[in-house]
């Protein structure tokens, strides 16, 4: 840690009308701040000169105060170093509450929906931020356009046209704080006209229903089969908007078949409805041809949502939506009210990362890493759970393992946890009651390659039933 030359500030007040002496007041406030936890053990204090100037006291008085509290064990000081709060000065506090989430399993954790955070391109991101801070005009540090920095919107429109066959201009792009905000903005605009939102079953049931409820929309689940969303069931539902993951359906991993894509867009035109396309896992595909965005086939009836949460890191909180032009004014107003716009410098850094080619380079590296883990998982299942069907592997970083008929999905999960392996079921992602065939979602995005084989071996007998 390289400290700034000036010391930290402290909020203390001196009452010169009080009957208490000035030094007594300062000592008492320092003791109270330390014992009450306002000043933690090891924390720096201002120099006696700085604190005296801030409070209008003599430096000698502050030095005497520091010396007294040091003698009492509240402070420590060494020549040439700042005065600090003693590590044991704070009164005993109750033990912190136990963590809300259990510790990660010891052998392997096949959790899904999270990329390998170790692959985050820290050096490239730091370079982009430094370049932006060095070269950006002063206006870049002001409040920006609530729908996003023009530079990023132009870069994203060009990038999405190139890699996802999206038909969009910068005027149709709204930069958001991740996928959740993008979906929330769209749902609130839809709610202004009322109606019902349809969503895939199985799918992201909890997050979708909670966001729809917050927006004031009713919801209806629509089943998914081996060809993707059942458009005939969607038509019977009476909904005028539907949320889909056509490139790699969450969680089954199926791709929306060509004839279903055409049926879905025909439904949208017939109903004057809206398809909300979550471009889930589109960046990571392995042994299949690329699947273009639905938005490129009908820009007037599709909103496409994207994010860098899986391609870069969730902590960046950057995403976007590409909307029909008629919806952009309402989306812009809601974005303005919601947060006045996403962080501008981060937007410019992302634009530079894409323009420089570093984003594509990172994706190639990440795709190769995930492909290697995918092979390791397939090989481990072939050895330890032969005969069990594995699906959803064409893209993304999770697979669906079909357990033997009659297997108790939750029992397998619970017993695996006892052995130090984290497994996760698919039953809880259904909106409609079962019974459903027992299936597991095996995520390998945040599971190290060296842990995949031992993890599967440790639960082999449970998987086979």
Give the pair of three-digit tokens for residue 463. Answer: 């998987």
What residue spans in the chain does CATH classification 1.10.10.10 cover?
1-93
Give the pair of three-digit tokens for residue 172. Answer: 């149709």
- The number of residues making up the chain comes to 465
| Main-chain dihedrals φ then ψ at residue 143, nearest 5 degrees | -60, 135
**In angstroms, rounded to a whole number, what is the distance separating the alpha carbons of residues 226 and 423?**
23
Q: Which residues of the chain have pLDDT under 70?
A: 1-7, 88-102, 287-289
Class in CATH terms, 1-93: mainly alpha
| CA proximity to 377, closest of 434, 304, 310, 440 | 440
What residue spans in the chain does CATH classification 3.40.640.10 cover?
120-356
**In angstroms, rounded to a whole number, what is the distance separating the alpha carbons of residues 63 and 155?**
58
Specify the pLDDT at position 265.
Answer: 98
Specify the pLDDT at position 6.
Answer: 56
What residue spans in the chain does CATH classification 3.90.1150.10 cover?
108-113+361-464
Per residue in 78-131, pLDDT (tens digit) is: 887 889 999 865 555 555 565 566 688 889 999 998 899 999 999 999 999 999
Per residue in 20-45, pLDDT (tens digit) is: 899 999 999 999 999 988 888 888 89
**In angstroms, rounded to a whole number, what is the distance separating the alpha carbons of residues 104 and 445?**
15
CATH code 1.50.10.10 for 108-113+361-464? no
**In angstroms, rounded to a whole number, what is the distance separating the alpha carbons of residues 440 and 444?**
13
Q: Domain 120-356: give its CATH architecture.
A: 3-Layer(aba) Sandwich (3.40)
């Amino acid at each position: 840690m390289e400290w700034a030359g000036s010391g930290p500030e402290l909020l203390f007040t001196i009452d010169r009308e009080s009957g208490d002496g000035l030094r007594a007041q300062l000592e008492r406030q320092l003791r109270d701040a330390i014992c009450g936890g306002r000043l933690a053990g090891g924390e720096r204090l201002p120099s006696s000169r700085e604190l005296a100037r801030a409070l209008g006291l003599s430096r000698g008085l502050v030095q005497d105060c520091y010396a007294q509290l040091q003698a009492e064990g509240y402070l420590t000081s060494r020549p040439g170093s700042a005065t600090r709060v003693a590590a044991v000065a704070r009164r005993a506090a109750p033990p912190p509450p136990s963590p809300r989430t259990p510790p990660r399993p010891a052998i392997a954790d096949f959790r899904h929906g999270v990329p390998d955070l170790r692959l985050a391109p820290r050096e490239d991101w730091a370079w982009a931020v430094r370049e932006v801070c060095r070269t950006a005009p002063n206006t870049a540090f002001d409040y920006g356009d609530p729908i996003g920095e023009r530079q990023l919107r132009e870069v994203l429109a060009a990038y999405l046209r190139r890699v996802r066959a999206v038909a969009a201009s910068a005027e149709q792009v709204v930069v958001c704080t991740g996928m959740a905000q993008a979906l929330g903005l769209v749902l609130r605009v839809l709610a202004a006209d009322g109606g019902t939102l349809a969503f895939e079953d199985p799918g992201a049931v909890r997050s979708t229903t909670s966001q729809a409820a917050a927006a004031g929309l009713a919801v209806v689940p629509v089943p998914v089969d081996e060809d993707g969303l059942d458009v005939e069931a969607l038509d019977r539902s009476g909904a005028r908007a539907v949320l889909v993951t056509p490139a790699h359906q969450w969680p089954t991993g199926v791709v929306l078949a060509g004839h279903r894509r055409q049926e879905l867009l025909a439904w949208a035109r017939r109903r004057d409805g809206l398809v909300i396309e979550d471009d889930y896992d589109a960046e990571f595909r392995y042994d299949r041809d690329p699947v273009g965005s639905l938005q490129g086939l009908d820009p007037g009836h599709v909103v496409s949502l994207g994010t860098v949460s899986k391609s870069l890191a969730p902590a960046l909180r950057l995403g976007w939506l590409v909307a029909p032009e008629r919806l952009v004014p309402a989306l812009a107003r809601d974005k303005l009210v919601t947060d006045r716009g996403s962080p501008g410098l981060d937007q410019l850094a992302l634009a530079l990362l894409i323009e420089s080619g570093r984003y594509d380079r990172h994706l190639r590296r990440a795709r190769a890493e995930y492909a290697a883990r995918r092979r390791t998982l397939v090989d481990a299942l072939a050895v330890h759970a032969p005969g069990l069907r594995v699906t959803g592997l064409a893209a993304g970083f999770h697979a669906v393992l079909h357990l033997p008929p009659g297997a108790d999905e939750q029992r397998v999960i619970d017993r695996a946890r006892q052995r130090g392996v984290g497994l996760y079921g698919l039953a809880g992602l259904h909106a409609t009651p079962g019974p459903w065939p027992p299936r597991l979602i095996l995520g390998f995005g945040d599971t190290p390659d060296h842990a995949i084989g031992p993890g599967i071996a440790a639960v082999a007998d449970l998987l086979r039933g």
